[in-house]
Structure 1
Amino acid sequence: MEFVDGRFELREIQKLEGHTDRVWSLAWNPATGVDGIPSVFASCSGDKTVRIWEQSSSTSSSWLCKAVLEDTHTRTVRSCSWSPSGKLLATASFDATTAIWENVGGDFECISTLEGHENEVKSISWNASGSLLATCSRDKTVWIWEVQVGSEFDCVAVLTGHTQDVKMVQWHPTMDILFSCSYDNTIKVWADDGEDEWSCIQTLGEPNNGHSSTVWALSFDASGDKMVTCSDDLTLKIWGTDSTMQPADTDGFAPWRHLYTISGYHDRTIFSVHWSREGIIASGAADDAIRIFVENEEKDGLVDGPLYKLLLKEEKAHDMDINSVQWSPGEKRLLASASDDGTIKMWELASVSC
């Protein structure tokens, strides 16, 4: 693989400005960036707005703000997520609501507002089919919403089990299994028993090689067989599940297990991690730095589990904390990062000639 001997750098393509407060989260539209369709992504901020950015048709290395979604949320917009079709955008806010936006002829209209959480909604995620939506909150709960005909969303489950603030929810890329990570240092795995009853089927945490502090984010590899998590304990952890690793239980569920810990590369809280379709892991942290990791294919065969190596580091990627790093779903090695400094940066992972 080219990462074994190659030399790489992160080239800054563009700095996007417009938000007037910290930028919390980024989300690429999965229906764009392919077949000649310009890439589109959303950003959300402490300025109570969401911005829609589109790749310029004249130059692939330029992005323009095409829309500003405002006057709906009354507090910080903490998270945003596109439906798999790219037709709907969900935004989660500290005002305890989730808004659903539809692109109608280039204009975004708020078609539904979901209420129920007691306070700040921290994260939101669509399942692979777009039929379910998950939200989580400072109120320690995870809610699952079912998409009905039209613009109706019904809450079908309120999941309790975390003992503190839930920071992120993320659906498995191919199965209707939900993952949540929390201030209580754990990752919980939730599933439907087949009779519309959702429950926690596994908790990943100490003493079984779990994180020792707040778990901020998680991301799956392209196959969905591996997951990476990041934490206030300054580590990234790789988890795996596969029937070849260990037998599935009586319900056919193969539990997740810890494979490897990446440590010693960030010196402040790691807020965001994202695994690209090509197998490249990016992390962003409160040390203003971005780190890029790849699997080390030259690992010692005697070591149990995969090893990951640092491909490169970008020390002062932003002037302040980095809250989100997201690889483009397109073919190009394109990375977007968002920061407390109010800006978004576009980066290209490029090889360096000797």
Structure 2
Amino acid sequence: MAPVMRPKYTLTKEKFPTYFGPLKSQPYSDSSSVSRALGGHHSLRAIAWNPLGSLVATGSVDKTLRVWNPEKPNIRFSTELKGHSAPIEKIAFNPVKDAELCSISNDGVVKFWDVRTKASVNEVKGLGSARSLAWAPDGSSLLVGNSHEIFNISPTQSTIISSHQQPVETNQMAFCWGGKKVYIPSVEGKIRILSYPELDPIFHKNYTVDPGETSEFMLKGHTASCTTVEPSPTGKYLATGGADSTISLFDTKDWICHRTITRITGTVKSISFTFDGSYVVGGCDEGSGLEVTHTESGEHVHTFKTAGPCEAVAWAPTKYCLAYGDVGVLRIIGLDGDRK
């Protein structure tokens, strides 16, 4: 089932640009971080909201992990979490716990944090160059992946529960909202649909395949590597992003690609839907500007102007509020929307 949404209002695609046009983004940084960003040494790799939207965390290539209060942009109101010895690749809050954060790094360590006490409450080592992370919707377990292996781990255990070799190199994965399926994108541009926790193929082709070929049914939505996937909050669509500078939207009932979003420059590094599933945006490693698309019609509705490429994007879980990394600095737009 999709999560319970708590909308305060709904924006039609006609009103979206009018609503966001006058709003200004709020930067979250200090002067030293801005100077490092302009020098290219403080690139944000990941952004994550907690379930209530009261905190937003950032992870960077300089090993910095920080938790911000969206209402207080000054850095003295933020919390720095120290412990990783290599660049941070992905971060995510527990879907059912507002203060539990997970981070993965190139140091091969997964860390679990209590952001209230700043303490690392658990860690799992020996995962290689970890680069993908997905919480199960009930918050009881996670999947962490490196290029060819996926690990099932628990936030309360320091050892790996199980490991699963993958036939091809894989990228950032995601659970379905029911927690029974996992979407695994690959460098071949395909997306595997596996059962959880077994990680076995769920669907198979209904025709005879040639000897040596797999009968596993996979989604085909990209002409280059599929880099990331994200289910919509309504559960209706699965969005997939690729190195071919496109986002594909698959209907999760018939698994047909209903539309392809092409107003993108560079490899899609992250994808995020608004809390109601009405709009989707992708973060990319080239160009400038964030392009927002209406999910149902495929129409482009708005461009958020940026200073440079924005790899990490994340809509807030409860309202129209977008967090993104621009030139190494966290920015949030939409916080002042309620006061308009």
Matched, 1:68 2:77: no
CA separation of 1:113/1:349 partners in 2, compared to 1, >3 Å: closer, same or farther?
Answer: closer
1:114 deviation in Å? 0.9
1:260 deviation in Å? 1.9
1:209 deviation in Å? 4.3
In the alignment, what sits opposite 2:295?
295
In the alignment, what sits opposite 2:185?
181
CA separation of 1:204/1:17 partners in 2, compared to 1, >3 Å: closer, same or farther?
Answer: farther
1:153 deviation in Å? 4.6
1:217 deviation in Å? 1.8
Unaligned runs of 5+ in 1: 34-38, 246-255, 297-306
Contact preservation (8 Å) 1:27, 1:43: yes
In the alignment, what sits opposite 2:271?
273
In the alignment, what sits opposite 1:116?
126
In the alignment, what sits opposite 1:304?
none
Percent of aligned positions with the same letter in both sequences?
17
Q: Which TM-score applies when normalising by structure 2? A: 0.80
In the alignment, what sits opposite 1:142?
150
Whichever residue aligns with residue 202 of structure 2, its letter is I
Q: Of the candidates 78, 88, 91, which is equivalent to residue 77 of structure 1?
A: 88
Looking at structure 1, the residues matched to 259 and 199 of structure 2 have their Cα atoms a distance apart, in angstroms, of 29
In the alignment, what sits opposite 2:282?
283
Contact preservation (8 Å) 1:17, 1:342: no
Contact preservation (8 Å) 2:29, 2:74: no
Q: Of the candidates 225, 230, 241, which is equivalent to residue 241 of structure 2?
A: 230
1:122 deviation in Å? 0.8
Unaligned runs of 5+ in 2: 1-9, 37-41, 204-215
| Secondary structure of 1:200 counterpart | coil
1:143 deviation in Å? 1.1
Whichever residue aligns with residue 295 of structure 2, its letter is E
Whichever residue aligns with residue 213 of structure 1, its letter is A
Aligned residues: 300
Contact preservation (8 Å) 2:25, 2:334: yes
Q: Which deviates further from its counterpart, 231-240 or 166-175?
A: 166-175
Contact preservation (8 Å) 1:157, 1:198: no
Contact preservation (8 Å) 2:237, 2:249: yes
1:4 deviation in Å? 4.4
Looking at structure 2, the residues matched to 204 and 291 of structure 1 have their Cα atoms a distance apart, in angstroms, of 31
In the alignment, what sits opposite 1:252?
none
1:116 deviation in Å? 2.8
Root mean square deviation, CA, Å: 2.4
Looking at structure 2, the residues matched to 121 and 337 of structure 1 have their Cα atoms a distance apart, in angstroms, of 22
| Secondary structure of 1:259 counterpart | strand
Q: Of the candidates 302, 312, 332, which is equivalent to residue 346 of structure 1?
A: 332
| Secondary structure of 2:230 counterpart | strand
Looking at structure 1, the residues matched to 335 and 118 of structure 2 have their Cα atoms a distance apart, in angstroms, of 32
Per-residue CA deviation, residues 175-231 of structure 1 (Å, 9 max, x unaligned), is 232222233322222214xxx6331335676xx642111222222112213111111
1:350 deviation in Å? 9.3
Alignment of 1:210-249 (within 5 A): 210-242=221-253, 245=254
Looking at structure 2, the residues matched to 109 and 240 of structure 1 have their Cα atoms a distance apart, in angstroms, of 41
Looking at structure 1, the residues matched to 220 and 313 of structure 2 have their Cα atoms a distance apart, in angstroms, of 25
Determine which structure has the larger helix proportion and give its number. Answer: 2
Q: Of the candidates 2, 14, 29, which is equivalent to residue 5 of structure 1?
A: 14
Looking at structure 2, the residues matched to 222 and 268 of structure 1 have their Cα atoms a distance apart, in angstroms, of 25
1:6 deviation in Å? 2.9
Looking at structure 1, the residues matched to 172 and 201 of structure 2 have their Cα atoms a distance apart, in angstroms, of 16
Matched, 1:260 2:259: yes
Per-residue CA deviation, residues 108-138 of structure 1 (Å, 9 max, x unaligned), is 11122212323x1112121111111111113
| Secondary structure of 1:201 counterpart | coil
Q: Of the candidates 304, 310, 321, which is equivalent to residue 334 of structure 1?
A: 321
In the alignment, what sits opposite 2:55?
40
Looking at structure 1, the residues matched to 220 and 25 of structure 2 have their Cα atoms a distance apart, in angstroms, of 38
Matched, 1:152 2:157: yes
Whichever residue aligns with residue 69 of structure 1, its letter is L
| Secondary structure of 2:221 counterpart | coil
